[in-house]
């Protein structure tokens, strides 16, 4: 699962570094708590984005569903935070999420002086690209691949989703089936 703040560059252009840090310090705890509640592990922060992994370093039952539940929890918490921000006269912000399910290599990368645990592979790259599709589909904030939709299995009955079709993805040979998650049923 990749998650980031929409229009963050524009926000950064119009706010002080202190205001940006305040926003991030409101945002990241929401992401971390939502991930932990649904057995995800926050792997890294990158500016305004977050990578959450499921199934490494330990197995997670129904990992695709847990990832979608995380995204829905993030959405609900951001809505609540935005209500609070608006009461303070501050602008609300939007978040986008991209989820893909598949096999990735988990392990340490880096040099002898500095290493980090992460996941590598097409599955991870595609999740990041799906998160980026939120710009192409601004009316939706949670997008999942067809592989994630299939991995939901019986849990797909508990979700209201919209099929967006096969979408060309930068750097990918073939278009990828994309679904928008609207809400839980």
Task: Kindly give the confidence (pLDDT) of every residue in the chain, 185 residues in length, as a single tens digit, with 9 standing for 90 and above.
Answer: 999 999 998 889 989 999 999 999 999 999 999 999 999 999 999 989 999 999 998 899 999 999 999 999 999 999 999 999 999 998 899 999 999 999 999 999 999 999 999 999 999 999 999 999 999 999 999 999 999 999 999 999 999 999 999 999 988 899 999 999 999 99
Q: What is the pTM of this model?
A: 0.95
Sequence-ordered strand ranges (E) for 32-133:
41-46, 49-53, 95-99, 105-110, 115-120
Q: Which residues make Cβ contacts (< 8 Å) with residue 89, sequence separation at least 6?
A: none
């Amino acid at each position: 699962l990749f998650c980031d703040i929409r229009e963050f560059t524009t926000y950064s252009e119009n706010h002080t570094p202190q205001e940006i840090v305040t926003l991030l310090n409101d945002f990241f705890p929401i992401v971390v708590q939502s991930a932990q509640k649904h057995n995800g592990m926050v792997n890294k922060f990158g500016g305004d984005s977050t990578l959450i992994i499921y199934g490494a370093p330990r197995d997670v039952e129904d990992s695709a569903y847990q990832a979608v539940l995380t995204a829905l929890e993030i959405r609900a918490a951001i809505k609540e935070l935005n209500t609070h921000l608006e009461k303070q006269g501050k602008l609300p912000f939007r978040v986008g999420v991209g989820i893909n399910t598949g096999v990735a290599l988990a392990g340490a990368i880096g040099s002898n002086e500095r290493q980090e645990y992460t996941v590598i592979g097409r599955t991870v790259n595609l999740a990041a690209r799906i998160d980026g599709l939120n710009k192409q589909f601004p009316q939706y904030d949670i997008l999942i691949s067809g592989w994630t939709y299939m991995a939901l299995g019986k849990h797909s009955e508990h979700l209201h989703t919209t099929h967006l079709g096969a979408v060309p993805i930068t750097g990918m040979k073939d278009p990828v089936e994309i679904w928008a998650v609207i809400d839980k049923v």
